[in-house]
Structure 1
Amino acid sequence: EGGRIPVDSTWDAEPDAEAMALLAPYKKQIDSVMCRVVGTAEMSMDRFRPESLLSNLIADVLREAAAEVQGTPADMGLINIGGIRNSLTEGAVTIENVFEILPFENSLCLLTMKGSDMKQLFENIAVRGGEGVSGIQMEITKSGKLLRALIGGKPVDDERTYTVATVDYLADGNDGMTALMQAGKRVCPKGATLRGLFAKYVERHTAAGKKITSRMEGRVTIKE
Structure 2
Amino acid sequence: MKQDYTKYLFGVALAGLLLCTSCRSQREAAGSAINIVQTEGGMISMDNRWDANPDAQAVAILKPYKAKVDSMMYEVIGVSTQTMEKGKPESELSNLVAEVLRQAAVQTQGKPADMGLVNMGGLRNILPVGNITVGTVYEILPFENSLCVVTLKGADLKELLAAIASLGGEGVSGVRMTIKDKKLVDALIGGQPVENDKLYTVATIDYLADGNGRMNALTRGVKRDCPEGATLRGLFLKYVRQQTAAGKKITSEKDGRIKSLTP
By how many angstroms is 1:20 displaced?
2.1
1:159 to 170, 187, 197: 197
Identity between Structure 1 and Structure 2 (%): 58
By how many angstroms is 1:21 displaced?
1.1
Partner AA of 2:210 in structure 1: D
| TM norm structure 2 | 0.78
Partner residue of 1:123?
A: 162
2:249 to 211, 214, 219: 211
Distance 1:174 1:220 in 2: 21
1:106-121 mapped onto 2 (5 Å cutoff): 106-121=145-160
Partner residue of 1:84?
A: 123
1:178 aligns with 2:216: yes
1:94 aligns with 2:118: no
By how many angstroms is 1:82 displaced?
0.7
Partner AA of 1:127 in structure 2: S
Could you list the runs of 5+ residues in structure 2 that have no partner in the other structure?
1-25, 31-53
1:36-55 mapped onto 2 (5 Å cutoff): 36-55=75-94
Distance 1:65 1:37 in 2: 22
Deviation string, structure 1 residues 119-172 (Cα, Å, up to 9, x no partner): 00001101000000000000001x211000000110001111000000000001
By how many angstroms is 1:49 displaced?
0.5
1:26-65 mapped onto 2 (5 Å cutoff): 26-65=65-104
Distance 1:39 1:56 in 2: 18
By how many angstroms is 1:27 displaced?
0.5
| TM norm structure 1 | 0.92
Q: Which has the higher contact order (CA 8 A, sep 6+)?
A: 1
Q: Give the match's secondary structure for 1:176.
A: coil
- Following TM superposition, the consecutive aligned residue runs of length 4 or more in structure 1 with deviations greater than 4 angstroms are none
By how many angstroms is 1:16 displaced?
4.1
Partner AA of 1:155 in structure 2: P
Distance 2:252 2:78 in 1: 14
Distance 1:183 1:17 in 2: 55
Distance 1:109 1:157 in 2: 22
Distance 2:133 2:221 in 1: 35
Partner AA of 1:68 in structure 2: Q
Deviation string, structure 1 residues 58-89 (Cα, Å, up to 9, x no partner): 00000000011111000000000010011101
**RMSD of aligned Cα (Å):** 1.5
Could you list the runs of 5+ residues in structure 1 that have no partner in the other structure?
1-6
Distance 1:17 1:112 in 2: 55
